[in-house]
Chain A
Amino acid sequence: AQSVTQLDSQVPVFEEAPVELRCNYSSSVSVYLFWYVQYPNQGLQLLLKYLSGSTLVKGINGFEAEFNKSQTSFHLRKPSVHISDTAEYFCAVSLNAGNMLTFGGGTRLMVKP
């Protein structure tokens, strides 16, 4: 079975500051890794995913994540956040390209002016 741990339930940050949202996973087999964003009362939107290849993955809205196999991590980063980035962010793993996702507990990013 797989599990995902998002170490921070909330991350407050000032606008234009950099941010890192942490994600660690546990699995006995190789997995695919995803980051999703959820705005209030909405579904999930895919930010980026790691399936194979380069460990640095670039996504939408200026986000990127780095897959670190030795540390079983997939931290999400953005060099300069905007107020509009305020949302809930979920890290997830899957045994294939996107089905049967196992989600972490979520991190609420709160961008302050």
Chain B
Amino acid sequence: GAVVSQHPSWVICKSGTSVKIECRSLDFQATTMFWYRQFPKQSLMLMATSNEGSKATYEQGVEKDKFLINHASLTLSTLTVTSAHPEDSSFYICSAVAGFDTEAFFGQGTRLTVV
């Protein structure tokens, strides 16, 4: 299957700082990327849908000013957690698709810890 790479795999940051997470499709062009959040021992919750060249669509309850998503190219989407707080600590996972009706491929996830 296709490869989606997420970087970093883990990050620890101080409260109040911003953290950028990258999601790259290595061997295909991703028209759409999805960002999920997973709390410990819970399921994945969709945060936003990101289409190349346009603004991301955020799910209800997700603060777009706090979770900045950029999808500037067909192989890269970034999620920036701004002014991070301890409650933002979570596992963030991205997925990418080549087209509307195609299989999603997942990155390996990023564990964010805010201290």
Contact = CB atoms under 8 A, between A and B. Distances in A.
Given A43-B6, A96-B101, A98-B97, A103 B106 contact: no
A36 B10 CA distance: 22
Given A41-B111, A42-B109, A44-B93, A98 B43 contact: no
Nearest to B44: A103
Interface residue tally on A, bucketed by range: 20 to 34
Interface of B: 1, 4, 6, 9-10, 32, 34, 41-46, 49, 91, 93, 95, 97, 100-104, 106-109, 111
Given A101-B104, A103-B44, A46 B93 contact: no
Interface string A90-113: 100000111111111110100000
B107 A98 contact: no
B109 A103 contact: no
A106 B46 CA distance: 15
A38 B107 CA distance: 11
Given A99-B34, A103-B43, A43 B93 contact: yes
